[in-house]
Amino acid sequence: MTVASAAPRSLAADTASAVDDTATLVAPLTAGPGWAEEIRRLARERDAVVLAHNYQRPEIQDVADHTGDSLALSRIAAASDASTIVFCGVHFMAETAKILAPEKTVLIPDARAGCSLADSITADELRAWKAEHPDAVVVSYVNTTAAVKAETDVCCTSSNAVEVVESIDPDREVLFLPDQFLGAHVKRLTGRQNLHIWAGECHVHAGINGATLTAKAQADPDADLFVHPECGCATSALYLAGAGAVPAEQVHILSTGGMLDAAKNTTKATVLVATEVGMLHQLRRANPDVDFRAVNDRASCHYMKMITPGALTRALVEGRDEVHVDAATADKARGAVQRMIEIGRPGGGE
């Protein structure tokens, strides 16, 4: 599936579209009074666990059983006793949950919720690239489709990308995809010249750039900078921080869990946050006394925001949209994901 060309839509538009084909729904479609209780009741009725990515709308995060990054949520999905996983995130994340928990029913409240970074390389493009470098080891960031993961030797998160690459025979070529910022970061840290980088990026967050980051840091020189390395939106900030665009002692590259811990313990009055703006909801809840500010307040993933209260209601009432990954693809992709989990601290503490 691909939705890279889907335009951002308003909450009202989303809710309206969810209503169109759900005339039999009796549950509330907006996050008004009684909505959260109804979602909890519906989840129990369906034997479902509701997972929400950190970049989801606040009301979705608040109603979910668990909130976290994609890999942590996939691990929870695999370990859960629930027979149904409702994954409030983007499609590749729900696919990863299905790969790790093939016996469970995995639902995503709106299957059109894609990812521009995952869509920046197809399995056909990867096969063609591999043909040019037949002896190379393929390392894919976790923001990839199941079909791309099936062509991959080992997946990585941005937390363990360096360790994954360092674990590979230095004489072997490495094809690193799809995020060019994370690839550049890994190349700089490993000094590896035989690492080839796919020129993909998350265009949603192209606004988190060097000029913005530097200007924000200079405007508030005492503020700390939290950079969350998991999603593609943060990898450009990760690269810039590593390149010295902002003072190193003020830059904290943190997992979600680390970011929340740091939020509780910070002595700073202001913290600049370089990631998708959905994360601010949890940080402000963790420490209401601190002024958490987005480095770029337009860094909002409209794919993530397609998961509306109405879409979640519909998912639980109607059991849709179900995520399928064919068994052969899932088997191949699972190997790459499991190798990722074995190396370093993929998403540790998140």
- Does 117 bind ligand SF4 (CB under 6 A)? Our answer is yes
Residue in 148, 273, 301, 317 binding ligand SF4, rule: CB under 6 A: 301
Question: Residue 144 Cβ, how far from ligand SF4 at the closest point, in Å?
Answer: 10
> Distance of CA 143 to CAs 9, 38, 65, 83, 292, Å?
22, 32, 23, 25, 26
- Pattern 199-228, ligand SF4, x by CB under 6 A: ---x-xx-----------------------
CA distance 273 to 205: 13
CA distance 125 to 134: 14
The burial of 218, by beta-carbon neighbours within 10 Å (0-12 exposed, 13-18 middle, 19 or more buried), is given as: exposed
Written as six digits, the tokens of 296 are: 């770029």
- Does 234 bind ligand SF4 (CB under 6 A)? Our answer is no
Question: Residue 296 Cβ, how far from ligand SF4 at the closest point, in Å?
Answer: 12
- Does 304 bind ligand SF4 (CB under 6 A)? Our answer is yes
- Does 232 bind ligand SF4 (CB under 6 A)? Our answer is yes
Tally of CB atoms within 10 A around 85: 26
Handedness of CA 54, 57, 58, 61 (dihedral sign): negative
- Does 72 bind ligand SF4 (CB under 6 A)? Our answer is no
- Candidates 19-27, 120-128, 162-170, 296-304; binding stretch for ligand SF4 (CB under 6 A): 296-304
- Candidates 19-27, 113-121, 144-152, 287-295; binding stretch for ligand SF4 (CB under 6 A): 113-121
Q: How many CA atoms lie within 13 A of 26 on its CB side?
A: 2
- Does 143 bind ligand SF4 (CB under 6 A)? Our answer is yes
- Does 115 bind ligand SF4 (CB under 6 A)? Our answer is yes
CA distance 109 to 21: 14
Question: Residue 2 Cβ, how far from ligand SF4 at the closest point, in Å?
Answer: 12
Q: How far apart are the first and last CA of the chain?
A: 28
Tally of CB atoms within 10 A around 147: 19
Written as six digits, the tokens of 36 are: 């959260």
- Residue among 97 and 233 whose Cβ is closer to ligand SF4: 233
Question: Residue 119 Cβ, how far from ligand SF4 at the closest point, in Å?
Answer: 8
- Residue among 42 and 117 whose Cβ is closer to ligand SF4: 117
Residue count, binding to ligand SF4 (CB under 6 A)? 15
CA distance 138 to 149: 10
Written as six digits, the tokens of 267 are: 């002595």
Residue in 59, 151, 153, 276 binding ligand SF4, rule: CB under 6 A: 276
Written as six digits, the tokens of 101 are: 């928990």
The residue among 235, 226, 227, 244 whose CA lies nearest residue 204 is 235
- Does 233 bind ligand SF4 (CB under 6 A)? Our answer is yes
Question: Residue 197 Cβ, how far from ligand SF4 at the closest point, in Å?
Answer: 16
- Residue among 126 and 202 whose Cβ is closer to ligand SF4: 202
Please report, as ranges, the residues that interact with ligand SF4 according to CB under 6 A. 90, 115-117, 143, 202, 204-205, 231-233, 276, 301, 303-304
